[in-house]
């Protein structure tokens, strides 16, 4: 079974976080949510999320993928956390997946993981950042090697379904998507 870490920072975009967590779990993926500390996470629209664990409890564990929800100030809080940067770099160096949506691709950029890659983000999220060779795209979901990025809350379901296809297979993605009754 594939394993995914979803770090939850104060101010994260709850629609993105919950959509990714829910759809991956529907697909049978082992999802661990981790708060930056032991407190409940107050998301950007006031929803309170209860992480499975604190990040310190899993920071040395290996995951098949790390998925970063966006939102502000959630993405800034992830970007400022050295443990998150270390996890992302270690995961990428091991050839495993890193994924981010909305403003969170800036966290990947800060870790050097978007250099010379195709990527997308919420409009303006990467403005002012020095990302050598970035090929910025406007598609809903962009995959370049083991890096997956997406635009924002409106693309969260497409993003999560794409992650299922990567982590499990297209048949599981289709099964999960069919049960959602998407048009």
Whether residue 151 is contained in a domain is answered as yes
Residue 183's pLDDT is 83
Residue 118's pLDDT is 98
Residues in a beta bridge with 67? 99
If one counts the domains in the chain, the total is 1
Please identify every residue annotated as catalytic: 102
The CATH number given to whatever domain includes residue 117 is 3.40.50.880
Whether residue 182 is contained in a domain is answered as no
How far apart CA 5 and CA 61 sit, in angstroms, is 10
Whether residue 16 is contained in a domain is answered as yes
The domain in which residue 36 lies consists of: 3-173
Within 13 Å, how many C-alpha atoms sit on residue 67's CB side?
33
pLDDT tens for the chain, 183 residues: list them. Answer: 999 999 999 999 999 999 999 999 999 999 999 999 999 999 999 999 999 999 999 999 999 999 999 999 999 999 999 999 999 999 999 999 999 999 999 999 999 999 999 999 999 999 999 999 999 999 999 999 999 999 999 999 999 999 999 999 999 999 999 999 998
pTM of the model: 0.97
> The dihedral of CA 63, 68, 69, 74: what is its sign?
positive
Whether residue 183 is contained in a domain is answered as no
């Amino acid at each position: 079974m594939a394993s995914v870490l979803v770090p939850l920072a104060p101010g994260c975009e709850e629609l993105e976080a919950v959509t990714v967590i829910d759809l991956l779990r529907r697909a049978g993926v082992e999802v661990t949510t981790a708060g930056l500390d032991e407190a409940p996470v107050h998301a950007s629209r006031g929803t309170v999320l209860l992480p499975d664990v604190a990040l310190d409890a899993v920071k040395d564990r290996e995951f098949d993928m790390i998925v970063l929800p966006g939102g502000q100030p959630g993405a800034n809080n992830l970007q400022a956390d050295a443990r998150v940067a270390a996890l992302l770099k270690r995961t990428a160096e091991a050839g495993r997946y890193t994924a981010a949506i909305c403003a969170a691709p800036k966290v990947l950029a800060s870790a050097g993981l978007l250099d010379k890659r195709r990527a997308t983000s919420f409009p303006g999220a990467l403005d002012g950042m020095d990302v050598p060779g970035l090929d910025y795209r406007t598609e809903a979901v962009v995959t370049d090697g083991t890096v997956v990025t997406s635009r924002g809350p409106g693309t969260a379901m497409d993003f999560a379904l794409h992650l299922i296809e990567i982590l499990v297979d297209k048949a599981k993605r289709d099964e999960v998507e069919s049960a959602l009754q998407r048009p």
